[in-house]
Structure 1
Amino acid sequence: MIAWRISRKISAALHQRRRRGAFRKPFSGTSAKRLLLLSIGERIPQSQIFPFHYYARDFRDALDTEIREVEISDYVAGLPDGPRDATTVCFQTPFDISDDELARTMAAIRERNPRARLAYLDWFAPTDLRMAHRLPGIDYYVTKHVLRDRDRYAETLYGDTTLMDYYGRKYDLPHDETRFPIPPGFRDKLHLGPSFVTADFMLPAFAAGQRPDGPRPIDLHARIAVGGSPWYEAMRAESLAAAESLPDTETVTGTGIGHHRFISELQQSKICFSPFGYGEVCWRDFEAVLTGAVLLKQDMQHVETQPNIFVPNETYVPLRWDLSDFEEKARWLIEDPAARDRIARQAFERLHDYARSGRFAAQMAPLVG
């Protein structure tokens, strides 16, 4: 664990040094295609960006593409001597970007990359497509997860996400109805990318293919933060209550610990209960798989991801959304080590295969042409 922490810190420091230096240089002109990433330098959006650098050799060798990255705020502000004349620009924006700021962003991208195809990278937690109608000039809209039934995007929600709709109705909360317009032809632009498996601390670990073994004295890991929006607080309080009500088990709850301890605990856990957050797909889903714990979560059949770790009773164990089967499912997993090993192993192998195969470059190949 100590060696892993040291290696992770060194790798992260080197990556950040490149982000401040080499990644911001002008294109060399030695490749036929030039991919510019305009990013947000925070943990969640960077999980979308990191794999482009991790597989940069695949992009260069298989797709004749060189890659640069600049924080989008610096680029819009007029970064001198930065990369320009890209053939593809992939860009992220803040969740709450205004119309005026979005217009300035698009103008800056177009002015310096007039012939580039444009791909928007939606890093947001919910499964909605709230930016679709605000980006008429893009060629691709890349999302980490999408509703399996695309027709549901035409429905009006009680709130602005599928989770707000369900829990707002369940707890009779005062939500406004919302429907984000989907422009004609938008589905042809929709492109499904990977989710949190591509974070900087997970992708190399999955590629190495070393699933942790050893004793797992913790039966159920359920460190669940509760505070937040009213619907979120109600949903998470319900999940925490379910975890704490499980009798005669070694259960870990509570919050306020560091990430290294969190990962260490998961490595010692049989089950990781990862309830919904502000979106259906969560960091903890992939951290559970990384550490060899069985993922226990509300049913995800309505969500499409790639690579998919939400195959019922094959790579995770689904729960009813009302958690009425929580004790039954948790008790089964605690008492059936063979089932736990099978599910945890299959989930890990799915992400290990994705990471080591380099499929990310092929997955993103349509963006660069």
Structure 2
Amino acid sequence: MRATADLDRRAGAAMAGRARPVAARWLARPFPRGARCRVLIYYTTSAICWSQVYPFVHYAEAFARRHGAAVRCLPVERFLTGARGPEADVVLIQPWFTTPPEALAQALERFAAHHPRARLSFLDSFAHNDLRLGPVLADHIRFYLKKSLFRDRRLYLRAWRGDTNLTEYYSALYGIDPGPPVERAVPEALLDRLRLCPSFFTAPRFMSGFDTPPPPQAGRGLDVQSRLGARGTPWYSAMRAAAQARIAGIEGLSLSPPGSLSLPEFMAELADARLCFSPFGYGELCWRDVEAFQAGAVLVKPDMGHLETAPELYDPGETYLPIRWDFADLEETLRGALADEETRSRIARTAHARIAAYIAEERFVDDMDFLFSDQ
């Protein structure tokens, strides 16, 4: 366990600052001669994207045992510019959402010409719950991996006003003109190739952080951790400002004090909080959700019933407390939870245990079995 924790710590540091070039060279080292299956991941260098790639590195030995696989990683710029990479059997690409579709289309055509036998799939690290690059990808990929999926897959075929489902809802709620519906032209055939992968909890800083239980609910000094940024696009700013105003207007609660915190200070505050208020960001999933699960603060969040995750992280009344998207029942939910320590303790334990079991039992390796299928 200590060796795994050291790997997670080093991996987290490796993708930041001066250590990054060393890490990049290690990730890109040649495949071993005896590998039965060569897995090559073209990754985007950012904390968000690395959280999606890192479990392939963390569980490299498990993939080797089960599939004879060796995992190597190269920056996605090499894929997009046509730089020749090593031959691989399974390839995953992870361009950022701002990648021009034309550039991606050219890269896909080049790759298909040079590596016709490679089994190509797409890693979607985007906040937005849409398939905006789907029309370009559909003819080239076997699978499309995403951190959350609409339970009703046909919602991916819908045109949302402005940009996404959140843009449309919150723009209408706050009287903002989001612009016309955005037609993504997602091929219906792509829906059958959608697959779930974990969210932020597979980042290096979380993978070993679930080894031990969080502090108990009893004795915590802060009612609600409530640090919310509000700068952004008009709908986002309006939504976050409304969330801030709503919680600030509830009398008698102890909330996060003003001022910024370092990450260790932020996590210490969460570990002292009974509840954590986590509105949506530009997408539904937030780093704060996982931080709350790890710290044992009960997550209070707009209803996530429209989405699936792997594992099922948003189980109402079991792993989090859902509220309305317009925050109308926020006070009722907070006061009810604060009055019931037994329920808070149960929810906090369940949420923490759900992620801890997923990590410890190597379920990620199980969930990725489809990548190694010849079908």
Taking structure 2 as the reference length, what is the TM-score of the superposition?
0.91
Map residues 5-154 of structure 1 onto 2, 5 A cutoff: 10-13=10-13, 16=20, 19-77=23-81, 83-110=85-112, 112-135=114-137, 136-154=139-157
Once structures 1 and 2 are overlaid, which stretch shifts more, 42-51 or 253-262? Answer: 253-262
Structure 1 residues 351, 331: closer, same or farther in 2, change over 3 A?
Answer: same
Query: Partner of 1:358 in structure 2?
Result: 362
TM-superposition CA deviations, 1:194-253 (whole Å, max 9, x none): 1111111112212x2332347310101010001100000000011111121121121115
**Alignment counterpart, residue 190 of structure 1, candidates 182, 190, 194:** 194
Structure 1 residues 45, 222: closer, same or farther in 2, change over 3 A?
Answer: same
The count of residues paired between Structure 1 and Structure 2 equals 362
Distance 2:238 2:299 in 1: 22
Distance 1:344 1:338 in 2: 10
TM-superposition CA deviations, 1:246-265 (whole Å, max 9, x none): 21121115463221211111
Task: Write the letter of the residue equivalent to 1:146.
Answer: L
Map residues 1-369 of structure 1 onto 2, 5 A cutoff: 10-13=10-13, 16=20, 19-77=23-81, 83-110=85-112, 112-135=114-137, 136-175=139-178, 176-206=180-210, 208-213=211-216, 215-252=219-256, 254=258, 256-369=260-373
TM-superposition CA deviations, 1:96-140 (whole Å, max 9, x none): 111332134324533553311111001000111111111121111
Distance 1:294 1:128 in 2: 28
TM-superposition CA deviations, 1:24-83 (whole Å, max 9, x none): 022113121110010011011111001000011110001111100011114544667xx5
Task: Write the letter of the residue equivalent to 2:191.
Answer: R
Structure 1 residues 352, 17: closer, same or farther in 2, change over 3 A?
Answer: farther
CA contact 1:85–1:114 (8 Å) conserved in 2: no
CA contact 2:42–2:92 (8 Å) conserved in 1: yes
TM-superposition CA deviations, 1:154-181 (whole Å, max 9, x none): 3221121110010111122222211312
CA contact 2:300–2:323 (8 Å) conserved in 1: yes
Once structures 1 and 2 are overlaid, which stretch shifts more, 148-157 or 64-73? Answer: 148-157
CA contact 2:105–2:136 (8 Å) conserved in 1: no
Give how far 1:298 is off: 0.5
Distance 1:122 1:60 in 2: 24
Give how far 1:368 is off: 2.4
Unaligned runs of 5+ in 1: none
Give how far 1:18 is off: 5.9
Identity %: 35
CA contact 2:97–2:126 (8 Å) conserved in 1: yes
Structure 1 residues 205, 229: closer, same or farther in 2, change over 3 A?
Answer: same
Distance 1:253 1:132 in 2: 43
The Cα RMSD (Å) is 2.1
Task: Write the letter of the residue equivalent to 1:12.
Answer: G
Task: Write the letter of the residue equivalent to 2:152.
Answer: D
Distance 1:155 1:7 in 2: 42
Distance 1:334 1:183 in 2: 47
Distance 1:303 1:255 in 2: 33
Taking structure 1 as the reference length, what is the TM-score of the superposition?
0.92
**Secondary structure of the equivalent of 2:205?**
coil
CA contact 2:297–2:348 (8 Å) conserved in 1: yes
